[in-house]
Structure 1
Amino acid sequence: MWLVVDLVLVGVFAVIGRLSHYGTLTAGGWWTTAWPFLVGTLLAWAVLTATRRPPAAVTSGVLVWLGALAGGMVLRHLSGQGTATAFVVVATLVLGALLVLPRVGARVRR
């Protein structure tokens, strides 16, 4: 379940970014923005699976956040997309909120 939640939230991050910068949303534009971060998220999930960490744990959310962010930025750079400092800062904050806070909320509800 958390894998799907994380992928959807990373997709939402890409939607927000496309709309805030371009004012419109197309499937191709969304994919261009989303794919590096989706791959980073999947790589982080591979680490979670290999280490058998509980996906709902807040620390797992931190790992997914950092994987999505680092993987996304590296892949954006390698594919010729921008990694301006302001973008890195905003992506750090927004992805952190989207990928960690739901796990904090789930923990508080328990």
Structure 2
Amino acid sequence: MRSAVAAGLDVCGVLVFVAIGRASHEEAGSLTGFAGTAWPFLAGLGAGWLAVRAWRRPEGLVPAGIGIWVTAVAVGMVLRVVSGQGTAFAFVVVALLFLALMLLGWRTVAHFVGRRAAS
């Protein structure tokens, strides 16, 4: 899988997380609000890609998927604190679970599709 496709899937996953979260809190209308919520997690996503050198094998669950997921959430939460945004415990748990689904989910599917195609 090409790195650009994998990165695009990861970015889409983060943006879906932000869109659903903002809509569930009736904050969906503002583009600047959306960007303000998204940027910490997108920065964390980029940091995760750099930390695990994901461009080498971006579809891998380990180390790429796990490293990107953990880094995206950790850096995203730190940046939210630094920028004065909330990090309630429930939000951290939701972010961990939802981003695991988004960032690890497509990688799991790609793994099994690749195994099936190889056999």
TM-score in same-fold range (> 0.5): yes
One-letter identity of the residue aligned with 1:28: T
| Partner of residue 75 from structure 1, selected from 71, 74, 79 | 79
Unaligned 5+ segments in structure 2 are 115-119
Give per-residue Cα distances to partners, 1:28-78, cap 9 Å, x unaligned: 1111110000000001111232x7641110111111111110010000001
TM-score (norm 2): 0.86
Q: Give the 3-state SS of the residue equivalent to 2:73 in structure 1.
A: helix
Alignment partner of 1:46 is 2:79? no
Query: Does 1:57 find its partner at 2:38?
Result: no
Q: For 1:36, give the aligned amino acid.
A: P
Gaps of 5+ in 1: none
CA distance in 1, matches of 2:37, 2:55: 30
Instruction: Give the Cα separation in 2 of the matches to 1:82 and 1:91.
Output: 12
Shift in CA distance, 39/12, structure 1 to aligned 2, threshold 3 Å: same
Which residue of the partner structure matches residue 91 of structure 2?
87
8 Å CA contact 1:13–1:94 kept in 2: the answer is yes
Rg larger in 1 or in 2?
Answer: 2
Aligned counterpart in structure 2 of residue 35 of structure 1, from 12, 34, 39: 39
Larger displacement relative to structure 2 (39-48 or 15-24): 15-24
The answer on whether the counterparts of 1:36 and 1:71 sit within 8 Å (CA) in structure 2 is yes
Shift of 1:79: 0.5
Q: 1:80 to 1:23 in 2, by over 3 A?
A: closer
Would the aligned equivalents of 2:69 and 2:104 in 1 still touch at CA under 8 Å?
yes
Within 1, Cα distance between the matches of 2:84 and 2:108?
35
Count of matched residue positions in the alignment of Structure 1 and Structure 2: 109
**Cα distance, 1:85 vs. partner?**
0.3
Choose the corresponding residue for 1:107, options 89, 111, 114: 111
Percent identity, please: 42
Contact persistence 1:48–1:55 (CA under 8 A): no
